[in-house]
Amino acid sequence: MAATWFYMQDSKRIGPVALEHLKQMAADGTLRREDTVWTVGMNQWTLAGQVPVVFGASAVAAPAPIAPAPVGAAAPLDAPVFASPVVAVAAAPVSYYDGGLPPRAATTLRGHARPTGDTGDWPLDDTRVAQFAEAVKIRRKVTGAAQLYRGLLLLSTIALVIILIEAVGAALFGGWGSGGPWANAVMFGMAGFLGGFCALYYFASRATMRAKRWAPLTMLILFVLAVAMNLLSIAVAASGRPEQMVSGIIVTILAAIFAVVSWNSCAAIPRWRAQPAWCQELIVKSGQ
C-alpha cells in the first residue's frame, strides 16, 4: 500500500507512512486517538480517533478526549495545518483557543483587537515562524544602514540646493559675499562635492536594500576615514581653537555611529542571504 499518510505526535510531523502501519500503531497503542493524521484527499488534519480507517468502525462512536492539533504544524501540499476548532472544541481545554485561534496565535495576539479575518488557516509551523522572526531581525540591520544613507541623502540634497542658490545668485547679481569670483568658484566646487555624495548615498541605499555588500562596506570605509580626519583636526584645534575642537568631537561621534551602523549591515548581509528564500521574499515583498 502506498505510503501517503502523515501523523503528528509531540508537535512533530512524521511520514509518509502506509495506512497499514497506522493501523498497527493504533492497535498497539503507539498512535493515540488524540494524535492527528492527514492524507491526500482530506481537507484538514483530523484526530486519529475520528478516522474509521485508522481506529476501526468504533472510532467515531467512542472517540478519545479531543485535543487540538499541535500549533502551526505544516501539512504536506495545501492541507490546513491544524484540526478545525469546530471538531476540537467539544472536549478541548478552553484555554487552547481564543476566538478560534490556536495557542501560539492566541498568545501572540493577546491584548490586541480580535482578528476579523480567516482564523482557520495557519500555513507556518513554529519552526518557520522562528525562522521568519530571525530573518526580520537580521533584515533590520541591513535596512537600518539603507535608511541612514537615505537620511544623509536628504540632508546633502538640502545643503546642495542652498549652496547652488547662493552660488547662482552671487554669479548673476554679484555682491553676495566679499570673496569675489574665487568665492563663487569655491561654492560651485562645494556643490559638485555634495552632488557626488548625493549620488553615492542614493546608490548605496538602493544597493544596501538589495543586500549588495559593497555598499555598506564602501560607506564604512568613508566613515572610518572621516573619524580619522576629525581626530586629526581635533588634535590640531586643541592648541588654540576650542570651538573647532568641540565641532570636531561632535562630527567624530556621528561618523563613528554611522560607521557602526554600516559595519552591522555589512556583517548582517551574509546572514540575511543565508536565510530561507521564502523569508526573503515575504520580507522584501512587504517593503522592508
Query: In the structure, what pLDDT confidence band is assigned to residue 224 with cuts at 50, 70 and 90?
Result: very high
167-180 tens-digit pLDDT? 777 666 665 445 55
pLDDT for position 61:
43
Residue ranges covered by each domain of the chain: 3-120, 128-285
pLDDT at 262 exceeding the cut of 90: yes
pLDDT at 1 exceeding the cut of 80: no
What's the average model confidence in pLDDT over 252-268? 92
| % residues pLDDT > 90 (the chain) | 22
What's the average model confidence in pLDDT over 89-106? 48
pLDDT for position 46:
87
| Phi, psi at 185, each rounded to 5° | -60, -40
C-alpha distances in Å from residue 123, one per residue of 73, 75, 107:
8, 8, 17
The C-alpha cell 493504533 sits at 26
User: Using alpha carbons only, what angle is made at residue 133 by residues 107 and 269, rounded to the nearest 5 degrees?
Assistant: 170
pLDDT at 280 exceeding the cut of 90: no
At a CB cut-off of 8 Å and minimum separation 6, what does 207 contact? 214, 215
Query: In the structure, what pLDDT confidence band is assigned to residue 63 with cuts at 50, 70 and 90?
Result: very low
pLDDT at 164 exceeding the cut of 70: yes
pLDDT at 154 exceeding the cut of 50: yes
Class of domain 3-120: alpha beta
DSSP code string of the chain: --EEEEEEETTEEEEEEEHHHHHHHHHHTSS-TTSEEEETT-SS-EEGGG-HHHH-THHHHSPPPP-PPPTTPPPSTT--SS--HHHHTTTS-GGG-BTTB-HHHHHHTTTSPPP-S-SS-----HHHHHHHHHHHHHHHHHHHHHHHHHHHHHHHHHHHHHHHHHHHHHHHH--SSSSHHHHHHHHHHHHHHHHHHHHHHHHHHHHHHTT-THHHHHHHHHHHHHHHHHHHHHHHHTTT-HHHHHHHHHHHHHHHHHHHHHHHHHHHHHHHHTS-HHHHHHHHHTT-
167-219 tens-digit pLDDT? 777 666 665 445 556 666 777 777 788 888 899 999 999 999 998 999 999 99
- Mean pLDDT rounded to a whole number for the chain: 76
pLDDT for position 251:
84
